[in-house]
A and B are shown apart, each in its own frame.
Chain A
Amino acid sequence: MLNFVIRRLLQSVAVLFAMSLLVFVGVYAIGNPVDLLISPQADQADIERTIAALGLDKPLWEQYRIFLQQAVTGNLGLSFQYNEPAIRLILERMPATLELAFAAMVIAVVLGIPLGLWAGLKPDSFAGRAIMAGSILGFSLPTFWVGLLLIMVFSVELGWLPTSGRGPTIDVLGIPVSFLSIEGWKHLAMPAANLALFKLSLIIRLTRAGTREALLQDYVKFARAKGLPARRVVGVHVLKNIMIPIVTVIGLELGSVIAFAIVTESIFAWPGMGKLIIDSINALDRPVVVAYLLVIVVLFIVINLVVDVVYSVLDPRVRLSDTGS
Chain B
Amino acid sequence: MTAIFPPPSSAAAERLLSPEELEAALREIGAKRYHNLHPFHRLLHDGKLSKDQVRAWALNRYYYQAMIPVKDAALLARLPEASLRRVWRQRIVDHDGDHEGDGGIERWLKLAEGVGFERDYVLSTKGILSATRFSVDAYVHFVSERSLLEAIASSLTEMFSPTIISERVAGMLKNYDFITKETLAYFDKRLTQAPRDADFALDYVKRHAVTPEQQRAAMDALTFKCNVLWTQLDALYFAYVAPGMVPPDAWQPGEGLVPEKAVAPAAGAAGTGGIGAGDVPRLPRGVRMRFDEVRKKHVLLAPERTFDLDDNAVAVLTLVDGQRSVADIAARLAETYNADRAVIEADILVMLNDLATKRVLER
- Bound together: no
**A residues near B, CB below 8 A?**
none
